[in-house]
């Protein structure tokens, strides 16, 4: 299984989980490899690809840092390394989508994607690589595309960006009311407030998918974990491991190629770096052990 990563994923000067986590996971894989995983450096997203999704004035602000309010609208300070970082990490999501169409499953260590809007960043997300990847997959002949968003927070940026794209839909199961959006037939969302309902709701929403799916883009957040910031009490490592089994088994059973990214997951007094990395390794290990091809 191809897993895309580049040191440029951590190129921004501002250091916190979204800008450093890919390096932590990559370091873990170097020390303790997962059998069958091959790490590959992706080509950066092109400006032309970014402009398919985002407003030119916003793209230029991210490139140059001016105006600063727009360049920092995702929520952290701008520096010259940000541009290189977001081109690389978003390129990794595109590469994972295209690799999944060839191999059945692929992934990227990218995160910080699903809140970004057309005209600005939001919620630590600069560009929306999920929508970039969906458009690349459609060009490659995969239709329709399903975005499965299991981050703790709602994927409102994605929902807004695919509003005019009839061949892309979204299932969104969250535990925190951040970045919500009105549900539609194509963007179905559920807010879970009890851990006992988390897996059943995901299973039900997946079971209700009708018709063919050409590609699933899986935003595999680990921030629903009870000790990760906005997580939900009772969602622990075991529940998240079951969730990954559920997602990849569903794709495998239906013959749906799947490309995943890491999405949310944040440190706390009770969730240190090693435990957070172990959570993200669950996604990678489950993907490679149950690949759809």
Whether the per-residue pLDDT at 293 is higher than 60: the answer is no
Q: What would be the CATH architecture of the domain defined by 2-289? A: 3-Layer(aba) Sandwich (3.40)
Beta bridge partners of 258: 105, 216
The yes-or-no verdict on residue 189 having pLDDT over 80 is yes
Average pLDDT over residues 104-108: 98
Work out the pLDDT band at 292, boundaries 50, 70, 90: very low
Question: What value does the mean pLDDT take over residues 207-224?
Answer: 97
Displacement of CA 195 from its chain's centroid (Å): 22
Query: How much is the pTM?
Result: 0.97
- Of 166, 159, 205, 206, which Cα lies nearest the Cα of 182? 159
| pLDDT on residue 119 | 98
Residue 102 confidence (pLDDT) above 80: yes
Band of pLDDT at residue 144, cut at 50, 70 and 90: very high
Burial profile 256-286: b = 16 or more Cβ within 10 angstroms, e = fewer = bbbbbbbbbbbbeeebeeebbbebbbbbbbb
Give the whole-angstrom CA distance, residue 214 versus residue 279. Answer: 28
Query: What secondary structure letter does DSSP report for 10?
Result: G
Length of the chain: 293
Structure tokens belonging to residue 199: 């897996």
The whole-number average pLDDT for the span 136-146 is 97
Quick one: pLDDT at residue 291? 46
Percent pLDDT > 90 in the chain is: 98
pLDDT value at 31 more than 70: yes
DSSP 215: E
């Amino acid at each position: 299984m191809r897993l895309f990563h580049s040191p440029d994923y951590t190129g921004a000067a501002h250091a916190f989980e979204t800008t450093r986590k890919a390096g932590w996971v990559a370091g873990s894989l170097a020390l303790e490899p997962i059998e069958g995983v091959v790490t590959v450096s992706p080509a950066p997203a092109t400006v032309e690809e970014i402009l398919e999704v985002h407003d030119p004035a916003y793209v230029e602000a991210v490139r140059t840092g001016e105006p600063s309010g727009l360049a920092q609208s995702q929520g952290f300070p701008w520096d010259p390394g940000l541009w290189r970082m977001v081109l690389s990490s978003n390129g990794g999501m595109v590469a994972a989508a295209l690799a999944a169409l060839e191999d059945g499953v692929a992934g990227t260590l990218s995160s910080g994607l699903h809140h970004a809007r057309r005209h600005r960043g939001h919620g630590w997300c600069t560009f929306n690589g999920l929508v970039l990847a969906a458009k690349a997959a459609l060009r490659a002949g995969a239709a329709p595309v399903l975005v499965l968003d299991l981050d703790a927070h709602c994927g409102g940026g994605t929902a807004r960006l695919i509003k005019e794209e009839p061949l892309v839909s979204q299932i969104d199961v969250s535990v925190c009311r951040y970045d919500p959006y009105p549900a539609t037939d194509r963007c179905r969302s559920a807010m879970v407030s009890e851990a006992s309902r988390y897996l059943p709701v995901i299973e039900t929403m997946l079971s209700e998918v009708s018709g063919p799916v050409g590609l699933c883009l899986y935003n595999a957040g680990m921030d629903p974990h009870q000790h990760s910031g906005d997580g939900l009490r009772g969602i622990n490592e075991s529940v998240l491991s079951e969730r990954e089994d559920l997602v990849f088994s569903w794709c495998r059973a239906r013959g749906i190629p799947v490309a995943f990214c890491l999405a949310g997951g944040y440190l706390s007094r009770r969730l240190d770096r090693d435990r957070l990395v172990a959570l993200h390794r669950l996604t990678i290990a489950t993907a490679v052990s149950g690949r759809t091809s």
